[in-house]
Structure 1
C-alpha cells in the first residue's frame, strides 16, 4: 500500500483511516508534501474540520541551519507560474481546531543534525539552496519523480535502506518518537470516545506512525482515499 503515488501526470497522497475493534476512536493520517497545489491544502483543511483533534508537524523556534535546509521547498512557490504553495498552518488548520504539536524545538533538530559527520552536515546546508533553485526552475515536474514514492510497509527494501541512512535518522528518529508518544497519550486518555484524531505530518513520517500505532495499540488501516497533491501544467 502506497502513501504517496507518483505517476506520469500527477502526485497523489493517500489519506489513511486507522481503527481498532476494541475502541471507537479513529486516527486519520494525512501524508503531506511541503509544496503542493492550493486545491490540495484546501481539501485537507475541509477534512480537518470534521476531526476533533489535529496533531500537526512543526518545529518550534527558529534556526539559521533549518532555514537553509527548508530553502529547498520555499523557493518553488515563489515562481507564480508553478501554481504551487508552501504548506503553512493558516492554509490547513480550521478555526477553533484543538491542536497538538509534539514536534522538536529548533535547537533539538539542529543538535540531531550536528550528530552527523561534519562533512555531511555542511553538505546538507550547502546543497539545500541549490536544490531549491532546481525545483523552482523545473516547477511541478520536479515532483513527478518515482523517488518521491513512499510506502507504508517498513519491511520493504526501500524502508530498510532509509532506516540505515544517517541523514534520515537525524531528521526523523526523535520526531517520530515524540509523535508516537503523543498519539499514545491521546489513545490512553480518550480512546473510549468516538472521536477522529487527524495526524498532519510529512509523508516520510507516516510509515513510523502506521507501524507504531499497530504495534503499540492494535490500530490497523481500514480505509484509504487518494487526494491529488499536484498536476503539472
Structure 2
C-alpha cells in the first residue's frame, strides 16, 4: 500500500480512510511531507477540519525539517516548479481537539519553533544548501520520499533512528490503540497526520491486531511538482 509516491511530475501523498466492520469509528491517515506547495497544506487543513479528533506530530507549530528544506531552496534560488513552503498547519485554528503523542510545548508558545527545531535548522541548512547548489532542485527526486506500508525508514545514526523513529512510532501506535479502545463505539473520524516515515507503523497496527481495513480509492494530493 503506497503512502507517498515520486514520479517525473512530482511528489504526492495519499489520504486513506480505515474502517472496522464492527465499529463506526474511522481513522483517516494523512502521511505528510514537511515541505510542499501552499495548496497542499490548505487541502490537508480542510480535511482535518472535517474530523472530530486529530492525532498530530510534535507540537502546534512549523516543521523545522520543512523550514530547512525551504530555506536551502531559497538560498540556492531553486524556483522551478513553483514556490514551496514549510509545513505550518495551525491546529488550534481548526477548532478540532488534538492529541500530541510526542507531547506539546508550554502553553502560550505553541506556534513558536522550539530549541530543538533551531538546532535542526543549524545542522540541516548548510548541508542542504550545498547539496542543492550542486544537484539543483532535482536532488529532491533522489531523496527517499517514497513510502509504503512495508517501508522500514532508517536514519543514518542508530541513536537518531531510535529517538526520532522507533520511540516516537511506539508512542504514536499506543495513542491510536488507546483511541480505538476508548472510542470505538463512537461514529467519529480520527485524523492521524504525521511525517510519512511514521505511518507504516500505524498501518500495520490498524490492519493487524486492531482489524481495520482501508477503503478503496485513497485521495492523492500533490505536495511538490518537479
Q: What TM bracket, shorter-length normalisation?
A: 0.7 to 0.9
Shift of residue 170 of structure 1?
A: 3.1
TM-score (structure 1 length as normaliser):
0.75
Shift of residue 230 of structure 1?
A: 1.5
User: Which residue is equivalent to 1:227?
Assistant: 221
The answer on whether the counterparts of 2:40 and 2:221 sit within 8 Å (CA) in structure 1 is: yes
Q: What CA distance in whole angstroms lies between the structure 1 residues aligned with 2:35 and 2:132?
A: 11
- Count of paired positions: 207
TM-score (structure 2 length as normaliser):
0.77
Match of 2:128 among 126, 132, 157: 132
User: Which residue is equivalent to 1:114?
Assistant: none
SS state at 2:208 partner: helix
User: Which residue is equivalent to 1:147?
Assistant: 144
The answer on whether the counterparts of 1:23 and 1:192 sit within 8 Å (CA) in structure 2 is: yes
Over 3 Å counting, the alpha-carbon distance change for 1:140 and 1:52 in structure 2 is farther
33-42 or 207-216, larger mean C-alpha shift = 207-216
Deviations 1:67-125 (A, max 9, x none): 6x7764352464683501110132x665311111111579xxx9xxxxxxxxxxxxx99
Shift of residue 15 of structure 1?
A: 1.0
The answer on whether the counterparts of 2:69 and 2:128 sit within 8 Å (CA) in structure 1 is: yes
Matches within 5 A, 1:198-213: 198-213=191-206
Give the CA RMSD over aligned residues. 3.4
Judging by fraction of residues, say which structure has more helix.
1
